[in-house]
Amino acid sequence: MSCHYSDISAENRPSFLPRRPITWKSCSARARKKLEGFYACGYLYAKSADLFLERLASYPSPDRQHIWNKQRETKTAGMFDEYSGAPSHWFGSYVGKNFRFVRKTFKRVIRRFEKGYDFAGKSRPIRFECLSENWGGCRSTLLANASIYGTVRVCPRTLRKPLNEGAMVILHELLHQRLDIGDQRDRACHRGSDARCYREGARKLVQAGKLSKALRNNDNYVYFARGIYLAQRLPWTATR
Ligand SMILES: [Zn+2]
């Protein structure tokens, strides 16, 4: 389900891909290939959200609100309908400034995917570093880490993930650092000793009415973007 290799194959390749704005540290050829796939699909998710929001912005305000608030529940909808592409499902009911913030955040992360990270006005390609099994966090549950600006460090277990899951990890990490969002903590998200709003925590924030946290939580963007991608499956070759 979601992101297929056919979407990033040579003939469907989004036009940014040939630029390959990636530098590598300690990654094998196999790891690079895997990460390039994750990167491309993470980009498709973000780009889907960006195009959707751009179209929404062109509508008169009442129409925009109507579409934003329309829930696209599926038959299997449980407490965590993780495939929803409804903006209100991930960010709550329409509020003009929230809409603008979400739109701006996707624009900024798209730019990062396309051009790299901004270093005093100059773009530097993203750097992927492949960590070893023995690296601190990789020994427990860590998938990846973006604590160094411009670098995404990846644990070996992430490289074993399917394309769609790897794409979510990469999009999550690119949303870190200087985009005014992060992994929010909230009582509603409590699981074991961790209160960070990962995965289903994204939806829990909305259900608990913590909308300003939802607006600033990475995974709310990641799940929304994947939902929109799944809902639309845009014809990439026709967009340029
Ligand atoms: Zn994070």
Residue 87 resides in a domain:
yes
What spacing in Å lies between the alpha carbon of 236 and ligand 1's midpoint? 28
What pLDDT, in 10s, does the model give residues 28-51? 999 999 999 999 899 999 999 999
Backbone angles phi, psi at 169, to 5 degrees: -65, -45
Residue 103 resides in a domain:
yes
Residue 194 resides in a domain:
no
Contacts 24+ apart (CB under 8 A), 18-25: 19/114, 21/114, 21/115, 21/116, 21/123, 21/125, 21/126, 22/125, 22/126, 22/127, 22/128, 23/125, 23/126, 23/127, 23/128, 24/127, 24/128, 24/129, 24/130, 25/127, 25/128, 25/129, 25/130, 25/151
> Which range is least confidently modeled, 25-39, 62-76, 170-184, 197-211?
62-76
Helical axes 96-115 vs 163-174, angle rounded to 10°: 110
Q: Which of 131, 172, 122 is nearest to 155 (CA)?
A: 131
13 is written with which tokens?
A: 């390749």
What spacing in Å lies between the alpha carbon of 112 and ligand 1's midpoint? 16
Residue 41 resides in a domain:
yes
Backbone angles phi, psi at 8, to 5 degrees: -120, 15
**Average pLDDT rounded to a whole number, residues 86-91:** 94
Q: Quick check: 74 pLDDT over 50?
A: no
Residue 168 resides in a domain:
yes
33 is written with which tokens?
A: 């290939």
What spacing in Å lies between the alpha carbon of 220 and ligand 1's midpoint? 11
Instruction: Please report the sign of the dihedral spanned by the C-alpha atoms of residue 48, residue 143, residue 23, residue 18.
Output: negative
What spacing in Å lies between the alpha carbon of 92 and ligand 1's midpoint? 21
Residue 56 resides in a domain:
yes
* Model pLDDT, residue 135: 94
What spacing in Å lies between the alpha carbon of 59 and ligand 1's midpoint? 33
**Average pLDDT rounded to a whole number, residues 17-29:** 82
Question: What is the domain range of residue 176?
Answer: 5-184+221-232
What spacing in Å lies between the alpha carbon of 211 and ligand 1's midpoint? 18
In the block, tokens 């509603």 appear at 188
Q: What is the mean pLDDT of the chain?
A: 89
What spacing in Å lies between the alpha carbon of 122 and ligand 1's midpoint? 25
> How many independent structural domains does the chain possess?
1
Find the CATH number of the domain harbouring 16. Answer: 3.40.390.10
Residue 131 resides in a domain:
yes
In the block, tokens 């529940």 appear at 73
**Average pLDDT rounded to a whole number, residues 121-147:** 94
Residue 214 resides in a domain:
no
What spacing in Å lies between the alpha carbon of 63 and ligand 1's midpoint? 33
Band the pLDDT of 234: cuts 50, 70, 90: low
